[in-house]
Amino acid sequence: MKQHKRWMLLLPTILLLFMTGCWDRHELEEISFITAVGIDLAPGNKTDITLQSSSPSGQAADMGGGGGKGSSVDETITFTVEGPLTAQHLGNTIVSRSLSFVHMQVLVVSEEYARKRNILSMIASAVREQSFRRDMLLVVSQGRADEYIRKNKPILEKFTHKYFELIYPLWKETGLWPNVHLHTYLRSVDIGKGLPIAILGSSQDPSIARTKQEDTYQNQSNYQRQLPSKKGDNPFKQERQMDNFLYGKEFRKQGGNSVNMMGSALFRGGRMIGKLGAADTQLLLMVQGEIMRFNRSFTDPIKPNQKNVIGIHFTSAGKPKIELEWDGNKLKSIHETIRLDGRVEANQTRTNYATNIQNLKTLSDHIDRSLSKQANDLVKEIQTEYKGDPFFFDWEGRKHFHYDEEWRRFNWADAFSRAKVSIDVKTNIRFTGKQLEEPGWYHAVNHQ
């Protein structure tokens, strides 16, 4: 028994001999981890590949560990090449360490590249590579990808890749960009029925954005330009563009990191066909049933003509209910019911929504109609403009079919574009915040 125990203790030590990795053994000192890759158009039908790499020993030194020289651990290089693997090898003509994709956080593709070329040709060859993983983010930058990577200088983080690691999960809190990894993008492409989406990012300087206001206008789709902004127009349409920056326009800011994530890029296969602003991304995620939490502003239904707004924080109250109506193999209509829980986060209007149940019901009805109208408008616009389905309705549609071949042959994009879609949002306002009325309410009422 004693001898048996001795062997048991010795076994892990012996096993260590077999865990050295044989020919693949690398000292940490010898590796530089690529954390971001950028893809841009280059002259002569070539591609600019940007590699941002980080050395683990440098990071350890910066974090108080031993070894390495400390600051400036990121290295960004751009090459003009034919394919991504060539770039990895070319990288090693400059970087003294072996380049590895194992810890890659983000793949950035410039909008120009995504619109003019099929990004799948680049990605499909890369995913074969051993260390290329499917859990990285896919970002389409509204500018050059190398700029997006280079300008990423997070204020609160020491390391650039941590920015993406930390900011990405916040989609759950805001819904301002979609929940997209390379895996989800590739899965959508494999399924081949809907429009795959990617995160929309921007590295444009606010001052540049202001001077390029016209360009931004040109880049907007027709329906975005057609939105009314006049007072007295349909209040739901006004509410859809209420937080203007959420609506695909550059938002003005000063300070902070130069790059951001906001909105979504729509693809057909490997080619980008359009983009959605942040507010529409919230609606998209809501219709997909992916949204968790988000904020939206609404006009006061009781005092509709005043400028002040009510801010509502929404949380998902369960998966949406989707019903499809078929006439044989012809899709007639789609009806979706979305349930949300709401919380009055801000009330500038001084209407009593805290203790007056009737007012609260009026507000709740108004929100239901507004969000339903906004979602229906978005679906209609995507049906007519992009003729495809980024909402995952095909996941329900496939239930109608019995055989794979039948489903593969079925033109879902066409069926979806012709179908009558109705979205019904039902909100339950559960809380009105920890303040019944704004401070000084009695005084203000008496004064009026």
Partner 1 sequence: MKTQVPAGHLDYRGFTALIVFLIGMKIFDGGMSFLVRQSGHGAPIVLTLGALFVGAAVWMGVKMMLLCPGMNWLEALSAVIPRGFVHFFGLFLFAASLLDTGVNLRLQMDSIAVLFLRNTPTVFLFALFCLGILFVAFQGLETISRVCSIMLPYLVGGILLGIALLYPYMHTSFIYPLPGIPVGEILRNTMPDTSIFAEILMIVMLAPYARKPKDLTKGIIRGMLLSYFMLILILLLIIFIFDADGAALVPWPFQQALQTIYINRYIQHLDAFFAFIWVAAEFLRFIITFYVSCLILAIVLKLSDHRPVIPLNIAMVFVIGTWGSSIYQVTEFRTNFMFPFIGFPSCAALLVLSIYGNWRLKKKQKRGAKNEAA
Minimum CB–partner distance for residue 403 and partner 1 (Å):
6
**Residue 416 contacts residue 394 (beta carbons within 8 Å):** yes
Q: Which residue in 291, 320, 332, 322 sits closest to 396, CA to CA?
A: 322
By CB under 8 A, tell whether 2 contacts partner 1. Answer: no
Minimum CB–partner distance for residue 443 and partner 1 (Å):
48
Q: Which residue in 84, 124, 96, 99 sits closest to 34, CA to CA?
A: 99
By CB under 8 A, tell whether 89 contacts partner 1. Answer: no
d(CA 347, CA 433): 10
CB closer to partner 1 out of 145 and 261: 261
Minimum CB–partner distance for residue 402 and partner 1 (Å):
5
Cα-Cα-Cα-Cα dihedral sign, residues 347, 348, 349, 351: positive
By CB under 8 A, tell whether 172 contacts partner 1. Answer: no
CB closer to partner 1 out of 11 and 444: 11
Per-residue binder mask for partner 1 (CB under 8 A), 134-163, x = binder: xx--------------------------x-
By CB under 8 A, tell whether 398 contacts partner 1. Answer: yes
Q: What are phi and psi of 271, to 5 degrees?
A: -115, 135
Buried b (16+ CB within 10 A) or exposed e, 69-82: eeeebbbbbbbebe
By CB under 8 A, tell whether 130 contacts partner 1. Answer: yes
Please identify which residue in 150, 181, 296, 373 interacts with partner 1, judged by CB under 8 A. Answer: 181
Residue carrying the six token digits 């390495």? 68
Per-residue binder mask for partner 1 (CB under 8 A), 190-219, x = binder: xxx---------------------------
Minimum CB–partner distance for residue 185 and partner 1 (Å):
11
CB closer to partner 1 out of 403 and 442: 403
> How distant is the alpha carbon of residue 244 from its chain centre?
18
Structure tokens at 360: 């609260």
Cβ burial, residue 237 (10 Å; 0-12/13-18/19+): middle
CB closer to partner 1 out of 18 and 442: 18
**Residue 269 contacts residue 118 (beta carbons within 8 Å):** yes
What is the binding site for partner 1 (CB under 8 A)? 18, 21-24, 102, 130, 133-135, 162, 165-166, 181, 183, 186-187, 190-192, 395-396, 398-399, 401-404, 406-408
